[in-house]
Amino acid sequence: MLRSLEGALSLNRDFGRGAQDALSCIFSVSGKDLSEAEIALFRSSNPFGFILFQRNCENPEQVKKLVNSLKDLVGRDCPILIDQEGGRVQRFKPPHWREYKPMKFFGDVYNSDQQEALEALRFETLRLAEELVEAGVNVNCSPVLDLFFEGAHDIISDRAFSEDPNIVARLGLSVCRHFLNAGITPIIKHIPGHGRAHADSHLELPRVNTVLEDLSVTDFAPFRDIAASDVGGAVWAMTAHIVYEKIDDELPISLSSVAIDNVIRKDIGFDGLLICDDLDMKALDKYGSVSDKANKALDAGCDLALYCAGEVDKMTELALNLPNLSGKTLKRLKKATEFKSIAV
């Protein structure tokens, strides 16, 4: 079954088709079924897509029904995102879905047997993709390309493949290729790197004061390798809510045009679709209302804002204050459709 999934379900998703008037935001859902208020808001505001969390996922039949309802409301095969990394970060959980290993497992295997690691990772990625495809989910916020750093906050920890940027890049590229071949758009994260942070950006704003030259040859390297690869234009990337003091000592990456222009777009060379991490994370608390933060992210160079808390009043505020997809974003979405199935 898995070998038939790879390639057989391959497609070039044109998320831009019919989305010219879509809001430049990913919305979320409060529960397992849509409320009347959510139905009315989603129908009228036309968000570009939606993200699912464990609170939305009871069993495969329920998830498929929810996903179909969301797509019907906006009238297109819109992006349906999920964080299904494996290990600690899984929204689909047993007993209805499989348990998956953390990425560090495959990095450890790679140190002793590269081919065994790649084959095991291929099998795991395709099993995971199989469940996403069955549910109608078409975008996965994975793989994590952050490096593991001893002594850093454990928010990344075993979610990272390795402390070696070459291993992270090689295994991350394999995950991206297999997802794309199965019809799943991967989101590499957290660009340009979250591994050094000594704080959890869900709870506070981390600051990193490492010199730019060191960051460029270590933390940035896996993202640069994916951006330069054959799938560089097809993957999306998610920003890190971190202040890198040697890049911009005032604003986190997600809100910094200096960081996005000079580091993500130029140094790393990533020209695909860029989505900011969740607007509701406490790292961004001091930067204004939810729509203030979203507009700052878009003005800085993000293509999409992401709102994950599922509160209708906040999403209503976003709907009233955010622009539709930009011309640059639509071009990036079109470019992503040029990806072709490849041997991996």
Query: Please, what sign has the CA dihedral across residues 286, 144, 69, 25?
Result: positive
149 contact partners, CB below 8 Å, separation of at least 6 = 156, 163, 195, 196
Phi and psi at residue 172, in whole multiples of 5°? Answer: -65, -40
Pick the closest to residue 233 from 270, 185, 179 (CA basis): 270
The residue from 113, 198, 202, 261 that is catalytic is: 202
Tell me if residue 241 is catalytic. no
- What is the rounded CA–CA span in Å between residue 250 and residue 123? 43
Measure CA of the first residue to CA of the last residue in the chain; give whole Å: 18
- Residue 292 known to be catalytic: no
Selecting among 277, 278, 280, 303, the annotated active-site residue is: 277
Structure tokens at 42: 């989603």
Would you say the C-alpha torsion 73, 49, 295, 21 has a positive or negative sign?
negative
Longest dimension (CA), the chain: 54
Task: Indicate which residues carry an active-site annotation.
Answer: 202, 277
